[in-house]
Amino acid sequence: MDLSLSEEQQLLKDQVERFAREAYAFETRRRVLRSEAGFEPAHWKQFAELGWLGVAFAEADGGLGGGPVETGIIMEAFGRGLVLEPFLPNVVLGGGALALAGDDAQKKALLPDLIAGKTKLALAYAERQSRYDLADCLTQAAADGGGFVVSGHKAVVYGGNLADHFVVVARTKGNQRAKTGLSLFLVPRTAKGLTVRGYRTVDGLGAADLALDKVRVEKSAVLGPLDGGLALLERVVDHGIAAICSEAVGAMAVLTDMTVQYSKTRKQFGRPIGGFQVLQHRMVDMTIAVEEARSMALYGTLHLDERNAKTRKRALSATKVQIGRSARLVGQEAVQIHGGMGMTDELAVGHYFKRLTMIDVAFGNADWHQRRFADLS
Amino acid sequence: MDLSLSEEQQLLKDQVERFAREAYAFETRRRVLRSEAGFEPAHWKQFAELGWLGVAFAEADGGLGGGPVETGIIMEAFGRGLVLEPFLPNVVLGGGALALAGDDAQKKALLPDLIAGKTKLALAYAERQSRYDLADCLTQAAADGGGFVVSGHKAVVYGGNLADHFVVVARTKGNQRAKTGLSLFLVPRTAKGLTVRGYRTVDGLGAADLALDKVRVEKSAVLGPLDGGLALLERVVDHGIAAICSEAVGAMAVLTDMTVQYSKTRKQFGRPIGGFQVLQHRMVDMTIAVEEARSMALYGTLHLDERNAKTRKRALSATKVQIGRSARLVGQEAVQIHGGMGMTDELAVGHYFKRLTMIDVAFGNADWHQRRFADLS
Amino acid sequence: MHLNLTRSQRAFQARVRKFVDENHPPEIRAKVESGLKLGRAETIAWQKKLHAAGLYAPAWPKQWGGPALKPIERYVLDRELALNSTPALVPFGVTMVGPVIYTFGSQAQKDRFLPRILNSDDWWCQGYSEPGSGSDLASLKTRAVREGDHYVVNGQKTWTTLAQYADWIFCLVRTDPAAKQQEGITFLLIDMKTPGVTVRPIVTMDGGAEINDVFLDNVKVPVENRVGEENQGWTYAKFLLVNERFGTAQVGRSQRQMLRLKQIAQSEIVGGRKLEEDENFRLKLAKTEIELLALEYTELRYLAQLDAGKQPGAEANILKIRGTQMQQNLSELLMEAVGYYANPSLPKALEHGWNEEPIGPAYAASLAPAYFNWRKSSIYGGSNEIQRNILSKFVLGL
Amino acid sequence: MHLNLTRSQRAFQARVRKFVDENHPPEIRAKVESGLKLGRAETIAWQKKLHAAGLYAPAWPKQWGGPALKPIERYVLDRELALNSTPALVPFGVTMVGPVIYTFGSQAQKDRFLPRILNSDDWWCQGYSEPGSGSDLASLKTRAVREGDHYVVNGQKTWTTLAQYADWIFCLVRTDPAAKQQEGITFLLIDMKTPGVTVRPIVTMDGGAEINDVFLDNVKVPVENRVGEENQGWTYAKFLLVNERFGTAQVGRSQRQMLRLKQIAQSEIVGGRKLEEDENFRLKLAKTEIELLALEYTELRYLAQLDAGKQPGAEANILKIRGTQMQQNLSELLMEAVGYYANPSLPKALEHGWNEEPIGPAYAASLAPAYFNWRKSSIYGGSNEIQRNILSKFVLGL
């Protein structure tokens, strides 16, 4: 067992945390939130320059050769600042799929630009009827000459509002929920027949629904094994789970601290509300929830490279359940202890609460993963 | 809607509560608990004399013409005193089955003696493998000449350690879990082939496991419809549920009050522990749990005469779920707030806690009834 | 004992149902069902209809123009209105300040204000909370100084719901800063058009702007708009809070939300089956339904006691705690039911007249904002912590 | 970063496994698995075997005869022992008073007591709690008055676990009644055979009699049996409590209980199927398993910090709270798993040598008493309320 950070990892952590603290003061964040794009291109450029967009990619792919631990470090710090730039959809999901399964040509075409901050990716897997079931896919890709014609609808694609290229999951074989017959395709935003309806999400981030109407792609657009995309998709999504769980830990830690500090200054009945034992014990329970979430985020992150897929999936499900439960408790209590102030848009607490709520939804909520865990036990 | 007690009902309530308060002081109860029989025959005689054993039976059967409300009044008061006499197995279960389904001869043979306190009954329905499923029955009753031969095992028969007659559920048709094919039989304790293994239960009451080895009964021993006993059994058990839920309300009310009083006298850190806000709020939650349990016990009791069996069963399941959840919270918090004293056999709190725990087990615990409620919705 | 409605209660229920059938337009019903916002005019129109049918101000005594319904009848009324997705009533006039005026006000105040409240001619809002006094209401600082026939009021009220529509505000103000906290407070009625009254909307985290800051800057209030005695305002304020809490269980509304949840569970799919068939969801739903039954029958038990003439005690506080927990639980289950489609933020979809294509199912757009918004219910009207403090002190004697 | 054991940790684990295989008799394993009570002799025999193998007193420094295992090794040891259903160790000597003696005791005390603790020659018990001082330990009243070479001790200790077997008791006594509460306390070692020491068993609600009152009536204690300075006992007491709390998570024991629960769920039937296939049970089990993983990895994270030389802080309190909740949850699930057969009370079935026919499944008899008994875990060793008070004050600064 070794749970300590290397020197480089510690430097990265300090660096990203400083960014979250300094560049993401609450008023700055509100300004970014109100902007048309919903993120700050200058920040994105900075991420590229500092190597953050490439740290988790292999050196052969133009990255710095890090991995899940580095991604977790960045995401946790981004959670602390509620950073709005689309790191998760680009680096972890879209870029992650490419790194795991792309052939040389595919990687070369996209990863260097992604790492340089010049192009943006997103992963389009969920559908209206699929909820969290990764195998449930109605989008069809029919073989057509040397290529495929893809038609269907993709739901709530994180970062899809900004993406230049989509990794689209479609069915090349089998019926709607068959475990074989899924394939992943690289589809440029400009593809004919692709309609992207971008929107903001309730936590201030961005997403899109995609309509694919006979979108034609070449055979070279197939990412990973034809018909065997489910295992790849599951792996990418497990990376996504670990990443947002780290994000949640950062957000929860700040939110708990914020609540404790608020309770020391807010006075009612002639004394700080932090003097009331009921609130004290609830803040202790928040603290414990954060500690357990931190342990499980680590547990999940360190299981990503586990070779046995069942063991990996079970571990990531356990992680997601814990984070969902912790985030619910921490978020709800933080709002409650802040009282009316916790309800306003003017204080950070509500923004953390909303992001934590949507983190539970992402990639399957606690209930969903509790069942997946049971099924894998 | 009319939720007020009649004058007679109020008198009954006052009378039984006085008994529980005066005759069931904790030290008296400990003496009864230590006695060989585990109950006090003089009390049973008194119940008969005061008409309590007959109040819920029809006047034609020798009773006083009351019903579920009267039974609930008695059980709630008995819950307050943690009364050890076997009212539930005799009057509600065994007697209840007879009253609902007995023919004239069967009723005459047993009910007057039951009401007079001269004979005791018990209902033997559960089996080792059945858990809470009333239809699950391996005990067989094979037609044999004019009668039946019954063989099998009956589990945890409440009051079975004391009973003179058993109402035994056996299968006359169908496979193990078929909904038709159950029949109820009256079997005297002295029947050849019947072995009664009586024992005390962890809450201080008594029960028995029965082994039936080719026990011969006449046709006249069949209680209610041959092969159609399930509906009858369900109805009797629903009466049992309402009754122990009322008992639980009485026990919870006393236990909560006891905890509040204890918290006012027990001092730690220089003040009564009732001054600590955390304990205050938890005692408030205990109070709310008792209030909700009281509402639902009433709701269940007033649904016993509902003609639509599905509606009745759903209501009683809701009641049992609420009582289970309330009892768990009240019992666990009462022990915790009493601290070390709550763990000892020398204080009443542990005795209430144990009875409340076993009330959740009786007739199906909260989880079981939550599912029955869902299935009936 | 029995649970059935009496004949007269059944007749009353039939009357309410008939009224709703005849007066509740389908388009308003659809809006309320979907959690969309109603405008001021729509709310007022509905209140006027109710009043015309003798179903508004249900608790008001006959001498002040109310129907003086009995507790169980009020419960039946509330439930029927909620189950039929009728517009929420604005409580500040009819439920809050009205009873204060007819109980403690002067004859002139009664004559002037009560008919206009009944007829929804005046829209009222509540000036209780201040930035520094949330749960600790009695620490309020807004100052009123007597100058001849007027009080001159300076200070700030906050969390003032729907102040943007209001004609009048009832305010707690401090008239004797030297007295003990609860003894120097006076209850004033203030015309929102008085110079010096400014309303600033507060955007809440769900994106709504229903609550406001109300600034009072040298606002001149005629002494005749003081309710009762100077420095006795705390008595009237407490009277009002108890009244308010009784309604907060909102069982009918929660029953309506439960139905909505079941409807959505028929449309949503999980693991290839309808959500309503999912074992885990079914058990959660059963749990919540049973909790709602317990809340309903606890309220009914209390109402039966009120009907029998018993004074209310702890009941209102218990109903506030459990009622708001129920509202929050349901809002959470509703949001969970739509999975990923809790994400899209479409504030305009919640407004009147939006008719673009929804993103995902049309019922999804309001669910996450509603969940966020309902967190308020355990904070307002005396937070649930305050409710427990009250119960601990006055019921348990701790 | 990685979660795998290092090579030396794996080697240590293998050594422990080999030891257990060779030294743990099947009949003892069966008893522990079924929750039956072990006698004094069985416990001591096991402790002596452990000591002979260098696996007893794992935290003790080498100079005092311990193996000075590192935190992660101690964790591995505890887990292997628990998963193999080995007898519970009696902590009062080896975990509690031993470290106090080698940290604060005199040379004579070290020489006299430490070898006998290591060799399980003395059975120790703990004299902390008193009838009037539970959570508020510092309010203790047992009085010790110096008379020449002796203290004369009068008072009563309570909740003294296994005092009926004990040779020695370590006691907190008040030597300066005039000083502030925590400043007049002294830490004494008392021979249980001293005249004036009386033990009275306390029957607990599960029917057990493992705890006792210990009455001290003019008990003469040589001054040489005082640990450290007079009136400085609180310092040593706190040191001991922190040590104790670290062990209370008992992850290994809970993992063993989880396995037992799964085994029982293969035998029990619900709705015609094995309990382990019941959807609701599976989800509850999954929830509990995940909570146990979170507890395990939280402990491991803390142990890794200790291994890296960080001083323990809040961690012990968090582990106490969550560890005891886990023990209680598991005891509840186990009881629930056997349905009606939680009812029969068979105290004799829990004793050594009972071999009548069980009522229901043999594994059922101990489950309700165990559930009742484990309620103690959130009360003893500083109740979970006290743990939260400590965390609030020292970690959150509230």
Q: Is the pLDDT of residue D242 over 80?
A: no
Write a three-state SS string for chain D: CECCCCHHHHHHHHHHHHHHHHHCCHHHHHHHHCCCCCCHHHHHHHHHHHHHCCCCCCCCCHHHCCCCCCHHHHHHHHHHHHHCCCCCCCHHHHHHHHHHHHHHCCHHHHHHHHHHHHCCCCCEEEECCECCECCCHHHCCCEEEEECCEEEEEEEECCCCCHHHCCEEEEEEECCCCCCHHHCEEEEEEECCCCCEEEEEECECCCCCCEEEEEEEEEEEEHHHEECCCCEHHHHHHHHHHHHHHHCCCHHHHHHHHHHHHHHHHHCEECCEEHHHCHHHHHHHHHHHHHHHHHHHHHHHHHHHHHCCCCCCCHHHHHHHHHHHHHHHHHHHHHHHCHHHHCECCHHHHCCCCCCCCCCCHHHCCHHHHHHHHHHHHCCCCCHHHHHHHHHHHCCCC
Chains in contact with A, where contact requires at least 3 CB pairs less than 8 Å apart = B, C, D
Average pLDDT over residues A28-54: 96
Give the helix ranges, DSSP H, for chain A: 7-22, 26-34, 41-50, 68-81, 87, 95-101, 104-115, 229-265, 277-301, 309-338, 340-343, 348-361, 366-375
Average pLDDT over residues B189-201: 98
Give me the residues of B, 278-317, that contact D with CB < 8 A.
278-279
Q: Is the pLDDT of residue B62 over 70?
A: yes
Determine the distance in angstroms separating the CA of C157 from the nearest CA of chain D, rounded to an integer: 30
Q: Is the pLDDT of residue D350 over 90?
A: no
Size of interface A-B (CB pairs under 8 A): 8
* pLDDT confidence tier of residue B110, bands split at 50, 70 and 90: very high
Determine the distance in angstroms separating the CA of B104 from the nearest CA of chain D, rounded to an integer: 34
Give me the residues of D, 241-300, that contact B with CB < 8 A.
268-272, 280, 284
Count CB atoms within 10 A of the CB of residue A66: 21
Task: List pLDDT tens digits, range C49-81.
Answer: 999 999 999 999 999 999 999 888 999 999 999
Amino acid A240: pLDDT: 98
Give me the residues of B, 53-112, that contact A with CB < 8 A.
none
Higher pLDDT pick, B74 / D302: B74
* pLDDT confidence tier of residue D271, bands split at 50, 70 and 90: confident
Is B282:B313 a contact under the CB 8 Å cutoff?
A: no
Structure tokens at D61: 């420094």
- Which residue type does A95 have? G
CA-closest candidate to residue C321, choices D353, B191, B284? B284
Chains in contact with B, where contact requires at least 3 CB pairs less than 8 Å apart = A, C, D
Is B317:B365 a contact under the CB 8 Å cutoff?
A: no
Global pTM value: 0.96
Q: Is B123 exposed, middle or buried (0-12, 13-18, 19+ CB in 10 A)?
A: buried
Spans of all domains in chain D: 7-89, 124-231, 250-396
Which of A131, A200, A353 lies closest to C345 in CB terms? A200
Amino acid C246: pLDDT: 61
Q: Is the pLDDT of residue B41 over 90?
A: yes
Amino acid D191: pLDDT: 98
Q: Cα(D72)–Cα(D83) distance, rounded to whole angstroms?
A: 16
Determine the distance in angstroms separating the CA of D75 from the nearest CA of chain C, rounded to an integer: 36
CA-closest candidate to residue B303, choices B291, B295, B292, B311? B311
- Which residue type does A365 have? N
CB-CB neighbors (< 8 A) of B199 in chain D: 344-346, 359
Give me the residues of C, 374-393, that contact A with CB < 8 A.
375-376, 378-380, 383, 385, 388
Size of interface A-C (CB pairs under 8 A): 133
CB-CB neighbors (< 8 A) of A370 in chain C: 280
Task: List pLDDT tens digits, range D171-226.
Answer: 999 999 999 989 999 999 999 999 999 999 999 999 998 999 999 999 999 999 99
Q: Which CATH number fits domain C124-231: 2.40.110.10, 2.40.10.480, 2.60.40.420, 2.40.10.120?
A: 2.40.110.10
Is A370:D287 a contact under the CB 8 Å cutoff?
A: yes
Query: Which of B33-37, B132-136, D347-351 comes out lowest in average pLDDT?
Result: D347-351
Q: Is the pLDDT of residue D246 over 80?
A: no
Is the CB of D395 less than 8 angstroms away from the CB of A1? Answer: no
Measuring CA to CA, how many Å separate B103 from each of B5, B338, C350? 32, 51, 65
Is the CB of D135 less than 8 angstroms away from the CB of B156? Answer: no
Higher pLDDT pick, D246 / B339: B339
Query: What stretch of H or E contains B238?
Result: helix B229-265
Is the CB of D204 less than 8 angstroms away from the CB of B267? Answer: no
Q: Cα(A184)–Cα(D320) distance, rounded to whole angstroms?
A: 48
Q: Which fold has domain D7-89?
A: Butyryl-Coa Dehydrogenase, subunit A; domain 1 (1.10.540)
CB-CB neighbors (< 8 A) of D302 in chain A: none
Amino acid A321: pLDDT: 98
Task: List pLDDT tens digits, range D371-392.
Answer: 999 999 999 988 999 999 999 9
Is C59:C239 a contact under the CB 8 Å cutoff?
A: no
- Which residue type does C109 have? Q
Average pLDDT over residues B280-284: 98
- Which residue type does C219 have? V
Q: ipTM of this predicted complex? A: 0.96
Which of D135, D339, D340 lies closest to B339 in CB terms? D135
Residue in chain C nearest B292 by alpha carbon: C294
Is the CB of B361 less than 8 angstroms away from the CB of D280? Answer: no
Is the CB of A156 less than 8 angstroms away from the CB of C336? Answer: no
Measuring CA to CA, how many Å separate D272 from each of B135, B231, D269? 10, 19, 6
Chain B contact for D132 (CB, 8 A cutoff): yes
What are the beta bridge partners of residue C130? Answer: C133
Q: Beta strands B165-171 and B121-124: pairing type?
A: parallel
Is the CB of B278 less than 8 angstroms away from the CB of D271? Answer: no
Determine the distance in angstroms separating the CA of A343 from the nearest CA of chain C, rounded to an integer: 6
Is the CB of B281 less than 8 angstroms away from the CB of A276? Answer: no
Task: List pLDDT tens digits, range C316-332.
Answer: 899 999 999 999 999 99
Is the CB of A2 less than 8 angstroms away from the CB of D298? Answer: no
The residues of D carrying an active-site annotation are 244
Amino acid C244: pLDDT: 63
Structure tokens at B149: 């031969």
Is the CB of B278 less than 8 angstroms away from the CB of D385? Answer: yes
Give the helix ranges, DSSP H, for B302-347: 309-338, 340-343
Residue in chain B nearest C391 by alpha carbon: B284
Chain D contact for C280 (CB, 8 A cutoff): yes
Chains in contact with C, where contact requires at least 3 CB pairs less than 8 Å apart = A, B, D
Structure tokens at A136: 């449930």
Q: What is the DSSP string of A270-323?
A: TEEGGGSHHHHHHHHHHHHHHHHHHHHHHHHHTTTT-S-HHHHHHHHHHHHHHH
CATH superfamily, region D250-396: Butyryl-CoA Dehydrogenase, subunit A, domain 3 (1.20.140.10)
Amino acid D49: pLDDT: 97
Determine the distance in angstroms separating the CA of D260 from the nearest CA of chain A, rounded to an integer: 15
Chain C contact for A128 (CB, 8 A cutoff): yes
Averaged confidence pLDDT in chain B = 97
Structure tokens at C155: 């200070």
Chain B contact for D360 (CB, 8 A cutoff): yes
Determine the distance in angstroms separating the CA of A155 from the nearest CA of chain C, rounded to an integer: 8
Around D254, how many Cα atoms within 13 Å sit in the side-chain half-sphere?
28
Count CB atoms within 10 A of the CB of residue C308: 11
Residue in chain D nearest C280 by alpha carbon: D280
- Residues in contact with A286: Cβ distance below 8 Å, sequence separation at least 6, in sequence order: A252, A256, A259, A329, A330, A333, A334
CB-CB neighbors (< 8 A) of C372 in chain A: 202, 350, 353-354, 357
Chain B contact for A277 (CB, 8 A cutoff): yes
Is the CB of C341 less than 8 angstroms away from the CB of A155? Answer: yes
B306 backbone dihedrals φ, ψ, rounded to 5°: -60, 130
Is B215:B149 a contact under the CB 8 Å cutoff?
A: yes
Determine the distance in angstroms separating the CA of B279 from the nearest CA of chain A, rounded to an integer: 9
Percent of chain C past pLDDT 90, that is, above it, reads 81
Task: List pLDDT tens digits, range D119-168.
Answer: 999 999 999 999 988 888 899 999 999 999 999 999 999 999 999 999 99
CB-CB neighbors (< 8 A) of A277 in chain B: 276-278
Is B94:B165 a contact under the CB 8 Å cutoff?
A: yes
Chain C contact for A155 (CB, 8 A cutoff): yes
Residue in chain D nearest A283 by alpha carbon: D392
Q: Cα(A174)–Cα(D40) distance, rounded to whole angstroms?
A: 66
Q: Given its phi and psi angles, is residue A224 left (phi above 0), alpha (psi -120 to 50 degrees) or beta?
A: left
The residues of C carrying an active-site annotation are 244
Structure tokens at C303: 């109402």
Averaged confidence pLDDT in chain C = 94
Is the CB of D3 less than 8 angstroms away from the CB of A318? Answer: no
Query: Which of A251-260, B44-53, C267-276 comes out lowest in average pLDDT?
Result: C267-276
Amino acid C35: pLDDT: 84
Is the CB of C396 less than 8 angstroms away from the CB of B4? Answer: no
Task: List pLDDT tens digits, range A311-348.
Answer: 999 999 999 999 999 999 999 999 999 999 999 999 99
| Residue found by looking up tokens 């929920």 in the block | A177
Residue in chain C nearest A153 by alpha carbon: C360
Q: What structural domains and CATH numbers belong to chain B? A: 7-119 (1.10.540.10), 122-228 (2.40.110.10), 230-375 (1.20.140.10)
| Residue found by looking up tokens 């809070």 in the block | C241
Determine the distance in angstroms separating the CA of B271 from the nearest CA of chain C, rounded to an integer: 12
Task: List pLDDT tens digits, range A24-35.
Answer: 999 999 999 999
Amino acid D245: pLDDT: 60
